[in-house]
Amino acid sequence: MLGYLLIAYIVERQKALDDTLLHITKETLHELNIPLATIQANSAMIAKSNPDAKTLKRLGRINEASKRLKRLYIELSYSIKKEIATVEKEPFELKNLLRERVETLMELGRNPITLHEPLELVLYLDKIGFEKVIDNILHNAMKYSNKESPIDIFLKNKRVHIVDRGIGIDESQMVAIFERYFQATNTYEGKGIDLALVKSYCDRYGIGIDIKSVKNLGTTVMLDLKAVCFVVSQKK
């Protein structure tokens, strides 16, 4: 009985601490969001006043920096909430998410990425977590490819295929690709945890993941989304 009461007390105290931390985090992130929104709004107003080309260029840099800060704000909020609370699922269109992530990554001036229609699929998932999955896969595709090498994304039988033409992975290394800290080569910077995080997310939500790779020819990552489909469009 004493053991039960002690455990109940510890659990209750931990929940109270988690609730307090979540409340403080929400307030802090809200305060961070206010100046960020102010920067974006004022930049837009200045841009509408028809400034000279030099000022427009500077405003463009401010706008891009604010977008990156906004993304970091979203990811920080997500990471904290994921640790101390349940992240809610939500319906979202795969096509829109892929377009937004590709547009963002293309700003890096790296590989050309092509989305092949149709991509009409609606998922019911932790959206930000899925965005991070797509980002990690695409970052890997870019990191292990020549920067002029194209990357293709298409949907077939409710499976997203992300295809690069990079250095590929040796067959003997395939068994270890989902292990934390695994890297196919030491030539490129990185911590080797991207695919481990991707696999963890996919396992959590029942998303099948399969990787096909040929050394010096490229890699295809396939995500089977059948288990997380919310609505499938009737478009062909």
| Overall residue count recorded for the chain in this entry | 236
Sorted by sequence, the CB contacts under 8 Å of residue 28 that are 6+ apart come out as none
Query: Is the same domain home to 103 and 20?
Result: no
**Is the domain of 19 the same as that of 78?**
yes
Shared-domain flag, residues 137 and 153 = yes
Give residue for tokens 């919310």: 230
- The domain boundary residue, chosen from 58, 84, 110: 84
Backbone φ and ψ for 89, nearest 5 degrees, come out as -80, 160
Does the reported pTM lie above 0.85?
A: no
Considering the domain architecture, whether residues 125 and 199 belong to the same structural domain is answered as yes
Judgement on whether residues 44 and 107 belong to the same structural domain of the protein: no
Q: What is the pLDDT of residues 90-140, one digit of tens each?
A: 999 999 999 999 998 888 888 999 999 999 999 999 999 999 999 999 999
* CA–CA separation, 141 and 138 (whole Å): 5
- Let me know whether 52 and 104 are in one domain: no
Identify whether residues 73 and 181 lie together within a single domain: no
Dihedral sign, CA of 108, 111, 117, 120? negative
Same domain, 57 and 128: no
- The Cα 112–Cα 170 span in angstroms is 25
3-state SS string for 153-176: EEEECCEEEEECCCCCCCHHHHHH
Q: Among 21, 53, 84, give the residue marking a domain's end.
A: 84
Inter-residue contact 136 to 191 (CB < 8 Å): no
CATH number for the domain that contains residue 184: 3.30.565.10
Same domain flag for 80 and 190: no
Q: Both 64 and 174 in a single domain?
A: no
Residue 77's CB is within 10 A of a number of other CB atoms, namely 18
- The answer to whether residues 75 and 101 belong to one domain is no
Distances (CA, A) of 66 to 26, 31, 93, 218, 226: 20, 15, 25, 35, 36
Q: Each residue's pLDDT tens digit in the chain (236 positions)?
A: 666 666 776 767 777 766 676 666 666 666 666 777 788 788 888 888 878 888 888 888 888 788 777 777 777 777 777 766 678 899 999 999 999 999 988 888 889 999 999 999 999 999 999 999 999 999 999 999 999 999 999 999 999 999 999 999 888 888 888 886 566 565 555 445 678 889 999 999 999 999 999 999 999 999 999 999 975 444 43
Chain CA centroid to CA 58, Å = 28
The domain boundary, picked from 84, 104, 130, lies at 84
Closest CA relative to residue 195, chosen from 215, 217, 169: 169
**Predicted pLDDT at 176:** 80
The total of structural domains in the chain comes to 2
Same domain (yes/no): 157, 97: yes
The two structure tokens encoding residue 119: 């991509």
Look up the domain containing 58 and give its range.
2-84
